[in-house]
Amino acid sequence: MNTKLINRIQQRHVKRFGIPASFVSYAPGRVEILGNHTDYNEGFVLSSAIQLGIGMAVSPSQTMQSTLHALDVDQEVDFSLPVQNPLPAPMWANYVLGVVNKLGAGKPLPHGFLATFAGDIPIASGLSSSAAVEVATALAFSMMYGITVQKLEIAKICQTAEHEFAGTRCGLLDQISSLFGKDHALVFSDFRSLEINTVSLGTDVCFLVADTGVMHNLVDSEYNERRMHCEQAADFFASVLDHPVTALRDVSLDEWKRFAGQMDPVDARRSAHIIEENHRVLEGRKRLSEGDFKGFGELMFQSHHSSQVNFENSCRELDVIVEQARELPSVSGARLSGGGFGGSVVMLINPDDAVKTARSVADQYQAEFGKPCEIRVVTPSAGAEVHACKNYKN
């Protein structure tokens, strides 16, 4: 848990509401290392919780009235429970309200709340600040209201909340990464069985995340359109293959090659990305188990190329950084991370090379685009947690 961030939130909570917080939660952001858009196709992903996250402090109110205070944007929302519908504005509030709605679905919540939250994840950087808000909300409120929810169920609650209240048909990747992260390890997720394991990295590996500064909104971009094409492709394969197909996970690359010429060209390209990406994740896990970081990095470069050509969810800024990274001996691999259409590039490096590599990438980006590119060292970190505050009395 980010102690400095949590302490700041608790202090501001007291200043705003006049009472100390009863519970505090913290949920990290995530970086997607390999497995782009495979989660909602029932495929495989390698990801990592990171050392940047969202913290939340909550207290019960004496009525059904509730107040939600967002420190980072200095905005506040007042409403009454139960929460039934998303708000037209501000959009950020719906990530919290959606979770509150789902937590209260089984049994009405007995009272309102006072909540303060903030974070150090750059907004729209591809590091999943929205899922971190959802997970921090779910943990804090489930504890305050005495609702027992397992980690995987929390992830599903947050996913449904984002579908219904934010309008993004996201998979479970972001929430699972935030909940199941471990220090110096990647999270391997099978999104059909929902089996989750970790793959140790050791301390000789870290990641650089280069934020292009290109703002992306997954609702307004083409995230939902990409998902639609994947579903259409799965339906096509279900109609031509002699075995069950419920998602692109069920289609081999040989089968794709055999039937791609009969498909809608866009569906064919989108599905090629997913099918090949699943193979890359499985191969990548094997390479990591063998300590073959160079081989793993090459899979990252291949993944980005597929995002450019087949899934078309990259942009020039992302492509330039990856091209620059490939020329640097210190970078083993690089690719876009997250939904795409902007956001960040993730690069696999040795921690000893972090400063020099970051400076080189930043300088080249400045020369190319005439604007800075913020670069951060990201280390695989522990997952989300929640605690009762010392002053809390049940």
Indicate which residues carry an active-site annotation: 174
Q: Report the phi/psi class of residue 286: left, alpha or beta, with left for phi > 0 and alpha for psi in -120 to 50.
A: alpha
SS3 string, 182-211, reads: CCCEEEEEECCCCEEEEEECCCCCEEEEEE
CB-count burial class (<10 Å; 0-12, 13-18, 19+) for 311: buried
Coil, helix or strand at residue 275: helix
Token digits of residue 372: 């800075």
Q: Where are the alpha helices (DSSP H) in the chain?
A: 3-17, 92-103, 129-144, 151-161, 173-180, 223-240, 253-259, 265-289, 293-306, 316-326, 354-369
d(CA 123, CA 127): 8
Residues forming a β-bridge with 376: 209
Whether the CB-CB separation of 24 and 2 falls below 8 Å is answered with no
Which residue type, as a one-letter code, is found at position 335?
R
Question: Which residues, 6+ apart, have CB-to-CB distance to 210 below 8 Å?
Answer: 321, 344, 345, 347, 358, 361, 362, 365, 373, 374, 375
In the DSSP assignment, the letter for residue 248 is G
Distance from first CA to last CA of the chain, Å, rounded?
23
Phi, psi of 211 (to 5 degrees): -85, 115
**Cα separation of 60 and 327, whole Å?**
55
* Closest to 349 measured CA to CA, from 216, 222, 150, 204: 204
In the 3-class helix/strand/coil scheme, how is 346-378 assigned residue by residue?
EEEECHHHHHHHHHHHHHHHHHHHCCCCEEEEE
